[in-house]
Structure 1
Amino acid sequence: MLSFDRYIGYTVELIYMDGLERITQRMVVVQKVRGDVLDVYCLQRRQPRRLRLDRILSVRKVGDRRIS
């Protein structure tokens, strides 16, 4: 499984499949990795989200600036 620790503080683009198997594309700021869950701030919804790691299909770092 991919290590998400290296993305903490960065904006990333995720392809994610939710519990109803709908696939979405999200721009998020990674805040914390907790076991099998990723805490992020969703830039589109402007709200924190908790995403299951096993449902993340793809991840791509956007830019090189870390957000504190």
Structure 2
Amino acid sequence: MMKMSIGQTIEIIYIDNAGKITQRKIEVMGIRNGRIRATCLSTGAPRVFLAANILAWQPVQERRYA
């Protein structure tokens, strides 16, 4: 199982408390007590996500150009 870490950019599928499912890229700023503090890369806004509400996640692969 993969482990997310601070400073990592990940893509998540998240269900909010109203039941809305969204997919977004975030940069993880902190992980504590089942909460993930992050910056949403779409809006640039700080957000807090409940780890239990993350349905799936994967690391974002950096594109490297030659």
- Quickly name the TM-score band, shorter chain normalised: 0.7 to 0.9
Q: Which has the higher helix share?
A: 1
Corresponding residue of 1:46: 44
- After superposition, residues 29-44 of structure 1 pair within 5 angstroms as 29-44=27-42
* Structure 1: tracts of 5 or more residues without a match: none
Moved over 4 A (4+): none
* Structure 2: tracts of 5 or more residues without a match: none
Distance 2:38 2:8 in 1: 10
Identity rate of aligned residues, in percent? 32
Report the CA distance between 1:13 and its aligned residue: 0.2
The one of 12, 30, 41 aligned to 1:14: 12
TM-score of the two chains, using structure 2 as the length reference: 0.84
1:39 counterpart letter in structure 2? R
2:36 counterpart letter in structure 1? L
TM-score of the two chains, using structure 1 as the length reference: 0.81
